[in-house]
């Protein structure tokens, strides 16, 4: 290994290289005055040591071909990690950029604030803004200003997010957020809270044992106290995302190309669901929790009929999957104003189609390989902007590509999530 060096408007950044790929770890893109303050752009003209990963930092990591040079105009993939808006890192080993870099694509992984620090809201916050999402926007601005010096094309940025990261990516397409910093989005298993922070504010204060949840009080509380309070708060929403941007209103999105996907069996391993299914009580769990999770009472039997046709052994797991992710995937495909494509990822001989199992194949990481299957698809999409199957609403067909995690055995299906749309309460489409 040797050092790699790039001089850009941010400063001189020193990373590491194996001669094939250069990696610049944990580059600061912002200055955060305090945990609950709005971030500001990082100071420019610095000497930045990016040789060592710092996964707990709010920062970004850049991976590029070692041969890349200023103004090469290579396509850029930006990845926002998931983690339920409560954990995760820009150094996620499942999504490293090595496979993309050896194929001539620059990758940037960005981190952001999570938990209360990133997603609690206060009376003086701008409408629909969250510090965690604004951190991501600031990282995208940093990329716009600096990526040319690494050999990237700032006009050809593909934004990829998984789970909470997909939620953030879609939120960044809102017209009150979108600034042209990316051209297209891949949103893998997005999941939005079923209630806004404002609706859950009382629960936050209860978690703090009555402390009024103002910005000043949150700042004064120790990090240990905030962590304990968050853990109490999240247990009240164990079958939902506790905090995050909400509600999703697709018609407020800009006309940005979106590929939105889900894995077929996202939450089969969810502990409550797995136990219910193991005991043969999946249908009972659905009837008990359905209304609280958006299932209409008069369509419960209809949903169960369709779920049994897919997999009669995992009714509870399918219900959590549909209520937590696939409902939102369908909502985006149905109502986003730009060009939209939908995919459903199925199990292969290496992995079940559970939540987050699509990350390694998409980024060509072990046990998957660079330039094959889903990774080959991602690289081509970043280069051309064309997914390779018909748009969701082409001829009003509701086209969905069904493909396994290896990128093989693909078929084009018509409206496979229609039973979810019919079974759950209608979601808002605009503010």
Q: Distance between CA atoms of 193 and 238, rounded to whole angstroms?
A: 11
| pLDDT, position 31 | 98
Closest CA to 75 of 160, 5, 141, 162: 160
Distance of CA 330 to the CA centre of its chain: 16
Sorted by where each begins, the domain ranges of the chain are 2-191+249-423
Residue 51 half-sphere exposure, CB side, CA atoms within 13 Å?
11
Report the first-to-last Cα separation within the chain, whole angstroms: 52
Average pLDDT over residues 31-35: 97
| pLDDT, position 1 | 87
| pLDDT, position 370 | 98
pLDDT at 227 over 90: yes
| pLDDT, position 103 | 99
pLDDT over 90, % of the chain = 98
Q: Distance between CA atoms of 281 and 313, rounded to whole angstroms?
A: 10
Give the pLDDT confidence of 293-351 residue by residue, as tens digits: 999 999 999 999 999 999 999 999 999 999 999 999 999 999 999 999 999 999 999 99
pLDDT at 77 over 90: yes
| pLDDT, position 396 | 85
Give the pLDDT confidence of 248-304 residue by residue, as tens digits: 999 999 999 999 999 999 999 999 999 999 999 999 999 999 999 999 999 999 999
| pLDDT, position 431 | 84
* Collapsed DSSP state (helix, strand, coil) of residue 396: helix
Closest CA to 329 of 189, 151, 193: 189
Give the pLDDT confidence of 393-415 residue by residue, as tens digits: 987 899 999 999 999 999 999 99
CB 384 within 8 A of CB 336: no
Residue 157's alpha-carbon distances to 89, 152, 186, 383, 384, in angstroms, are 20, 9, 11, 9, 11
pLDDT at 420 over 90: yes
Q: What is the pTM of this model?
A: 0.97
| pLDDT, position 394 | 81
User: Check: CATH 3.40.50.2300 for 2-191+249-423?
Assistant: no
pLDDT at 178 over 90: yes
Distance of CA 313 to the CA centre of its chain: 29
Omega of the bond leading into 160 within 30 degrees of 0 (cis) = no
For 44-99, give the DSSP string.
SSEEEE-SS--TTSS-EEEEEETT--TT--EEEEEEE--STTT---TT-GGG-SHH
């Amino acid at each position: 290994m040797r050092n790699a060096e790039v001089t850009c408007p941010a400063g001189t950044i020193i990373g590491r290289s194996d001669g094939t790929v250069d990696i610049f770890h944990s580059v600061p893109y912002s200055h955060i005055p305090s945990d609950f303050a709005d971030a500001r752009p990082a100071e420019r003209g610095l000497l930045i040591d990016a040789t060592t990963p710092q996964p707990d930092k709010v920062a970004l990591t850049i991976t590029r071909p070692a041969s890349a040079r200023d103004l090469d105009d290579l396509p850029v993939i930006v990845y926002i990690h998931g983690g339920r808006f409560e954990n995760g890192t820009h150094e996620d080993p499942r999504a490293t950029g090595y496979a993309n870099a050896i194929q001539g694509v620059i990758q940037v992984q960005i981190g952001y604030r999570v938990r209360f620090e990133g997603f609690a809201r206060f009376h003086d916050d701008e409408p629909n803004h969250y510090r965690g999402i604004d951190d991501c926007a600031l990282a995208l601005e940093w990329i716009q200003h600096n990526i040319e010096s690494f050999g990237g094309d700032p006009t050809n940025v593909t934004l990829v997010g998984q789970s909470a990261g997909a939620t953030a990516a879609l939120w960044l397409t809102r017209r009150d957020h979108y600034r042209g910093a990316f051209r297209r989005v891949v949103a893998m298993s997005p999941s939005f809270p079923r209630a806004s922070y404002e609706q859950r504010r009382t629960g936050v204060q209860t978690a703090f044992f009555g402390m009024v949840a103002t910005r000043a009080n949150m700042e004064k509380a120790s990090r240990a106290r905030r962590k304990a309070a968050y853990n109490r708060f999240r247990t009240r929403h164990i079958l939902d995302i506790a905090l995050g941007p909400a509600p999703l209103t697709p018609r407020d999105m800009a006309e940005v190309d979106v590929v939105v996907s889900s894995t077929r069996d996202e939450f089969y391993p969810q502990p409550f669901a797995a136990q219910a299914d193991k005991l043969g009580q999946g249908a009972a769990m659905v009837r008990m929790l359905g209304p609280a999770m958006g299932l209409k009472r008069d369509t419960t039997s209809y949903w169960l009929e369709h779920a049994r046709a897919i997999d009669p052994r995992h009714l509870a797991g399918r219900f959590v999957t549909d209520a937590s992710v696939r409902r939102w995937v369908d909502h985006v495909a149905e109502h986003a104003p730009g060009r939209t494509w939908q995919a459903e990822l199925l199990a292969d001989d290496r992995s079940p189609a559970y939540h987050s199992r699509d990350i390694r194949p998409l980024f060509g990481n072990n046990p998957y390989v660079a330039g094959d299957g889903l990774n080959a698809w991602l690289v081509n999409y970043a280069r051309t902007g064309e997914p390779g199957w018909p748009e969701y609403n082409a001829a009003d067909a509701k086209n969905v590509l069904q493909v396994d995690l290896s990128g093989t055995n693909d078929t084009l299906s018509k409206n496979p999530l229609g039973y979810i749309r019919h079974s759950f309460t209608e979601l808002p489409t605009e503010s």
